[in-house]
Amino acid sequence: MRIAIPSDDGNNFAAHTGRAQGFIIYDVNNGKSDKVEYRDNRYTGHALGLHNTGDGHGQHHSHNSLLNALSDCQIMLAHGMGPRLVDDLDANGIQVVFCRETDADLAAQKFAQDILIQADGSSCDHKH
């Protein structure tokens, strides 16, 4: 199984998935997690600086590029994201798991061991 974690520094969770500088990718097998790579975020309107144009939900706000970039992942661990992204990830076979861990490696390991404590859904309303 492959998981993605939004991160600004390649080590810790980003607070908001769409604004993250990138995504840490892990392979999870047999109770272990292995960091595979860090993918720079060249996929979301927020990361590309397009979130302040128009009504905020134009074509730049499509999640297609991000969905394609993460198509090899089955899980995304995150702190927060908009409800549209949650729905789009789910529709594309990527389950969103919210948690409060800050260290990505620790969260990935806990997930692999099935001991990660999940948080209530944490979504953003795009008003800030």
Q: Over the chain, what HEC string results?
A: CEEEEEECCCCEECCCHHHCCEEEEEEEECCEEEEEEEEECCCCCCCCCCCCCCCCCCHHHCCHHHHHHCCCCCEEEECCECHHHHHHHHHCCCEEEEECCCEHHHHHHHHHCCCCCECCCCECCCCC
The CATH code for residues 2-112 is: 3.30.420.130
Identify the weakest region by mean pLDDT among 29-33, 82-86, 91-95, 115-119. 82-86
What is the percentage of the chain residues whose pLDDT exceeds 90?
Answer: 62
Q: What's the confidence (pLDDT) of residue 10?
A: 96
What does the pLDDT average to over 54-73?
Answer: 73
- What is the rounded CA–CA span in Å between residue 115 and residue 101? 12
- In this structure, what token pair is assigned to residue 1? 């199984």
- For 7-20, what is each residue's pLDDT tens digit? 999 999 998 888 89
Domain boundaries, the chain: 2-112
Q: How confident is the model at residue 121 (pLDDT cuts 50, 70, 90)?
A: low
What does the pLDDT average to over 17-45?
Answer: 91
- In this structure, what token pair is assigned to residue 82? 């908009």
Q: Which residues lie closer than 8 Å to 52 by C-beta, 6 or more apart?
A: none
Q: What's the confidence (pLDDT) of residue 78?
A: 96
Q: Is the pLDDT of residue 52 over 60?
A: no
pTM for the full predicted model = 0.84
- In this structure, what token pair is assigned to residue 72? 């090899």
Q: What's the confidence (pLDDT) of residue 1?
A: 97
Q: What letter represents residue 103's amino acid?
A: D
